[in-house]
A and B are shown apart, each in its own frame.
Chain A
Amino acid sequence: MIVEFGHYALVLAFALAVLQTIVPFVGARAGDLRQMAMAPNLAFAVFAALALSFAVLTWGYVTSDFSLLNVVENSHSQKPLLFKITGVWGNHEGSMLLWVLILALFGALVALFGSNLPPSLRAMVISVQGLITVAFTGFILFTSNPFERLSPAPFEGNDLNPILQDVGLAIHPPLLYLGYVGFSVCFSFAIAALIEGRIDAAWARWVRPWTLAAWVFLTAGIAMGSYWAYYELGWGGWWFWDPVENASFMPWLAGTALLHSALVMEKREALKVWTILLAILTFSLSLLGTFLVRSGVLTSVHAFASDPTRGVVILGILIFFIGGALFLFALRSSTLSNGGMFHPISREGGLVLNNLILTTATATVFVGTLYPLAVEALTGEKISVGAPYFDATFVPLMIPLLIAVPFGPLLAWKRGDIFAALQRLYVFAGIALIAGLATLWLADGLPLLAAFGVAVGFWLLFGSFADVWQKSGLPKAGFSKAMARLGGLPRSVWGTALAHAGLGVTVLGIVSVSAFQEEHVLRMAPGDTTELSGYSVAFDGASARQGPNYTEDVATFTVTRAGAHVATISPAKRLYTARGMPTTEAGIHTTGFSQIYVALGDPVEGTNQIVVRLWWKPQVTLIWLGPVLMMFGGLFSLSDRRLRIGAPKPSAKRREALAAAE
């Protein structure tokens, strides 16, 4: 009965979303304030209905209601509670339901925080948001109903894919979806602006917090997914250029470009048409990502939940929204006027360069991901495009951008002075040079590329604070005055510095691991010891253990350094009984920013040895600490009172600080 209630709520959400699409749209076109005023309530109602529906499905999982087909296929009564809950979105139907739930959440948030928007714009945005909800709720109802019953109900479920039985599943998909779907707000704003034919700096100011929020979530989601793959798959890799990873990376790249171009639009009213196009493209890439993952068109590591017949429907939705949006863009973009002239060497110019490179990088990832499909469709031949291609194309594209980053915030709007910027940066260039030379000095051989990479990393890490440093007035201003100035700086200045520095941190981690990691593959018997980058690793033996829904073999390794105990690492091999599926659980010990990573291989026949893979991963955690910094940067900017919705004018104290800073 409860299950039917959830199903009913889903149908109700669909019907309400249809209303959410039509009524505010008609109202906005006719200038009927009462119809426009219905928009927020409809958005709340759709969200409430979807939340109810989602809660019911979760209830089905928690109580192991095996009369639900979806629960039977993806759950097991012995599964720990956390994985029962996360299992809700560990499958196609449930994850689509989470997708629309988050979509409706953003619709409701626009309704909640949008009271300062012009009524017709708000109504239009909510209407477009509603249309997307209609499409995807309809998709769930007609092709992927999670509330399908099974009669007779079996006694036990088939369990969830063991690789997904991890806290990673609790965090990664919701964050990723908050990012993916968050960009729908930017999309809706763009469509609304095109329909209304009016767009100005205020538009950019309204859109920027949403872009920032979505970007923060997407950054977190991708980084989290990367770390999850790193420890779960047991290959020690952190990015595989897998099509599904690319699917989430493309909206991130485009979203990063959007973040920067919206800045130009907000401050200078320039790049309007381009910003609108980017807003459309970013969400289009999110939709494309959903299509690629959900349709199973790319068979890849992630294609655990796919069904080709559904692909056609999502493709239809994809074509409708992307095609429709681009058509509208072509029709209306010429009516948008562009203001704000600028010299090529200026803050705007820097941001245009940022956009040029990021867009080209997006295009490269896009072509690389879809090329095998296109070639197969056109010629029938099969080719592969993998990591070596992306390393050879994406990385060289990024290098000029990374070098340019510290310059950006130092250039003035309209017309900047590159030599003045250079003058403020030469100290940081010196730091980078020293770091590069130190790498050459300390490392064996002549790792020129690594030294260059380290230099770029340090350049970014410290150069990103050049702007803040200069605004502090140090060393001339004196400590207390400088501190007061720093405290009074707009938070977005800090946000920019933190996010850019985070990029540097990630670069350092990537370079360090790619150039200096050590890997040993060897056979070990209990009692054997091996050396790994100054540590001794001893294999003590293995023992069997019984988990809630798996059996596992846990090996114990003792790590010592110069006789002193450092850590005990326990990698394991698990066998999930319901599916008979084995998984490898890597053993990881973190020391400083570096990690010792141990994965188990096969036993050697006829002996008591097993194959062991050991890695020394120097500074590997920087790869994920960088995105953490980027997120903090994003959150800092988001908390800037200039962006806060309905914020009053800056206080007198802050105005002073601002004046001092500029």
Chain B
Amino acid sequence: MKRILAAFALLLLAATGAFAVNPDEMLDDPALEQRARDISAKLRCLVCQNQSIDDSDAELARDLRVIVRERIVDGDTNEEVMNFVVSRYGEFVLLQPRMSVRNMLLWGTPLIGLALGGIAIIFLYRMRSRAAPVDKLTPEEQERITEMLADGDDDSR
């Protein structure tokens, strides 16, 4: 009975989906493997929803992982591997889009945001400081203060 259950267990395991990086794909050299993992994390699984090929269990992701490792073993630099994958699958595959004219707004947002916000703050600040000069009192206010101070002196006497 136990055996049957065990057999059933394995069968069930086999029925379920594949897995992200598998040991049979992995490179023996840990340094190269690490490079492959780093690259994989930046490549999109084409048939998945917003998953990198490193996380995905899809068949196509597995193919890409193998390709990445083949290129690395062939002596490509990370850059060359990326270029190769993009030449085959287009820029869609990159989870981090390239800096290009089209992607200018995308990459520029943090800087543009800070710059525009900063300018707006400085501008508004200056405008308000000019509109409301708090440092100086009008002659009337000065007079009233002097008066009040004088009153205070009277009280203390």
- Structural contact, A543 and B19, CB atoms closer than 8 A: no
Q: From known contacts A542-B9, A582-B17, A602-B19, infer whether A387 and B110 are also in contact, taking CB-CB under 8 Å.
A: no
Q: Does B137 contact A (CB under 8 A)?
A: no
Number of residues on chain A facing chain B (CB within 8 A): 63
Task: Point out the residue from B14, B17, B103, B129 that lies within 8 Å of A341, measured CB to CB.
Answer: B129
Q: Does A416 contact B (CB under 8 A)?
A: no
Neighbouring A residues of B128 by C-beta, 8 Å: 338, 341
Most buried by B among A235, A299, A384, A573: A384
Q: Does A205 contact B (CB under 8 A)?
A: no
**CA A327 to CA B105, docked complex, whole Å:** 25
- Structural contact, B95 and A384, CB atoms closer than 8 A: yes
Task: Point out the residue from B19, B22, B42, B105 that lies within 8 Å of A367, measured CB to CB.
Answer: B105
**A621 CB, nearest partner CB in chain B, Å:** 22
- Structural contact, A386 and B117, CB atoms closer than 8 A: no
**B97 CB, nearest partner CB in chain A, Å:** 5
- Structural contact, A352 and B50, CB atoms closer than 8 A: no
**B110 CB, nearest partner CB in chain A, Å:** 5
Interface 1/0 per residue, B116-131 and A, CB below 8 Å:
0110010001001100
Q: Does A300 contact B (CB under 8 A)?
A: yes
Q: Does B15 contact A (CB under 8 A)?
A: yes
Q: From known contacts A386-B50, A573-B16, infer whether A381 and B91 are also in contact, taking CB-CB under 8 Å.
A: yes
**B67 CB, nearest partner CB in chain A, Å:** 18
Q: Does A549 contact B (CB under 8 A)?
A: no
Residues of A369-385 contacting chain B, CB below 8 A: 371, 375, 379, 381-385
- Structural contact, B90 and A382, CB atoms closer than 8 A: yes
**CA A134 to CA B63, docked complex, whole Å:** 51
Task: Point out the residue from B19, B93, B118, B121 that lies within 8 Å of A611, measured CB to CB.
Answer: B19
Neighbouring B residues of A385 by C-beta, 8 Å: 95-97, 106
**CA A243 to CA B50, docked complex, whole Å:** 8
Task: Point out the residue from B22, B51, B109 that lies within 8 Å of A393, measured CB to CB.
Answer: B109
Task: Point out the residue from B14, B52, B103 that lies within 8 Å of A383, measured CB to CB.
Answer: B103
Q: Does B31 contact A (CB under 8 A)?
A: no
- Structural contact, B106 and A575, CB atoms closer than 8 A: no
Task: Point out the residue from A303, A360, A611 that lies within 8 Å of B113, measured CB to CB.
Answer: A360
- Structural contact, A363 and B113, CB atoms closer than 8 A: yes
- Structural contact, B50 and A300, CB atoms closer than 8 A: yes
- Structural contact, A521 and B129, CB atoms closer than 8 A: no
Q: Which residue of B lies closest to A357 (CB)?
A: B114
Q: Does A389 contact B (CB under 8 A)?
A: yes
**CA A212 to CA B74, docked complex, whole Å:** 57
Q: Does A523 contact B (CB under 8 A)?
A: yes
Neighbouring B residues of A297 by C-beta, 8 Å: none
Q: From known contacts A384-B92, A521-B22, infer whether A368 and B113 are also in contact, taking CB-CB under 8 Å.
A: no
**CA A511 to CA B126, docked complex, whole Å:** 40
Q: From known contacts A352-B121, A364-B113, A551-B12, infer whether A383 and B21 are also in contact, taking CB-CB under 8 Å.
A: no
Q: From known contacts A544-B5, A573-B12, A602-B19, infer whether A371 and B52 are also in contact, taking CB-CB under 8 Å.
A: no
Q: Does B150 contact A (CB under 8 A)?
A: no
Q: Does A613 contact B (CB under 8 A)?
A: yes
Number of residues on chain B facing chain A (CB within 8 A): 52
**CA A402 to CA B84, docked complex, whole Å:** 39
- Structural contact, A384 and B94, CB atoms closer than 8 A: yes
Q: From known contacts A371-B106, A544-B8, A553-B12, infer whether A383 and B91 are also in contact, taking CB-CB under 8 Å.
A: yes
Neighbouring A residues of B17 by C-beta, 8 Å: 582
Neighbouring B residues of A542 by C-beta, 8 Å: 6, 9-10, 13
Residues of A519-565 contacting chain B, CB below 8 A: 521-523, 541-544, 551-553
**CA A582 to CA B51, docked complex, whole Å:** 18
- Structural contact, A601 and B110, CB atoms closer than 8 A: no
Neighbouring B residues of A361 by C-beta, 8 Å: 110
Q: Does A650 contact B (CB under 8 A)?
A: no
Neighbouring B residues of A352 by C-beta, 8 Å: 121
Neighbouring B residues of A584 by C-beta, 8 Å: 16
Q: Which residue of B lies closest to A601 (CB)?
A: B19
Q: Does B87 contact A (CB under 8 A)?
A: no
- Structural contact, A379 and B109, CB atoms closer than 8 A: no
Q: From known contacts A341-B128, A544-B8, A551-B12, infer whether A384 and B23 are also in contact, taking CB-CB under 8 Å.
A: no
A-B pairs with beta carbons under 8 Å apart, 22 shown: A237-B55, A300-B49, A303-B49, A341-B129, A344-B125, A360-B109, A364-B109, A388-B41, A388-B42, A389-B95, A389-B106, A392-B96, A393-B109, A393-B110, A394-B110, A396-B110, A521-B21, A521-B23, A541-B6, A552-B12, A553-B9, A575-B15
7 closest cross-chain pairs (CB), A and B: A386-B95, A360-B113, A601-B19, A582-B16, A388-B96, A367-B109, A544-B9
* A residues neighboring B (CB under 8 Å): 235, 237, 240, 242-243, 299-301, 303, 338, 341, 344, 352, 356-357, 359-361, 363-364, 367-368, 371, 375, 379, 381-389, 392-394, 396-397, 521-523, 541-544, 551-553, 573, 575, 582, 584, 600-605, 608, 610-611, 613
